[in-house]
A = this chain, B = another copy of it.
């Protein structure tokens, strides 16, 4: 526990925290393991013993991100169960966890087949689907709701009906696209406006999108 001793005590956690800060400050591409080691006050090779790779560290960071996202989605669903608010929750998550968000969908950056990561990602997706089924604006109560679903894909047993999955992915796409575009600065005036306010306006325009 003591920082003056030979052993750091909680280096793994310290490195992850430092990584999140460094990425938030100056992007993931300029992240350096040696700099993290410096920030934590350990030698340049110490991080290797906690995460095998640089990719290993980013895997842990992405996993943490998916776990946080699951929590945020579940909490949001309980608090104000509106589809628009679920999108806003997604954006809030991206803003509050920029570093994780920047890594989570960059599969070339981490070990994409890591079991912990896969589990966390699946859990986040499930949390999203759960938000689809029991909302008052009932996106699944439309005319297509009782139409027979296409035959489920053979082989893998489906936990969620295709329909719910598809609507969930549509919502996910929109929220994710907005968050990504905003953070990239590609949106006009993305510097001036409040992102959450903008999201309410833009995402609300989904009505005109459905012809």
Contacts and interface: CB of A to CB of B under 8 A. Distances in A.
A192 to B, nearest CB: 8
Interface string A83-103: 100000000000000000000
How many identical chains are in the complex? 2
Contact of A107 (B106, B167, B177, B184): B184
Nearest to A189: B153
Interface string A173-211: 111111011001111110000000000011101111111
A211 B177 contact: no
A166 interface: yes
25 contacts: A26-B108, A27-B108, A29-B29, A105-B186, A106-B184, A107-B185, A107-B186, A112-B185, A121-B186, A137-B211, A142-B208, A153-B189, A165-B188, A169-B187, A169-B205, A170-B205, A170-B208, A172-B181, A173-B175, A176-B180, A176-B181, A177-B177, A180-B180, A206-B206, A207-B210
A201 to B, nearest CB: 6
Contact of A170 (B30, B106, B206, B211): B206
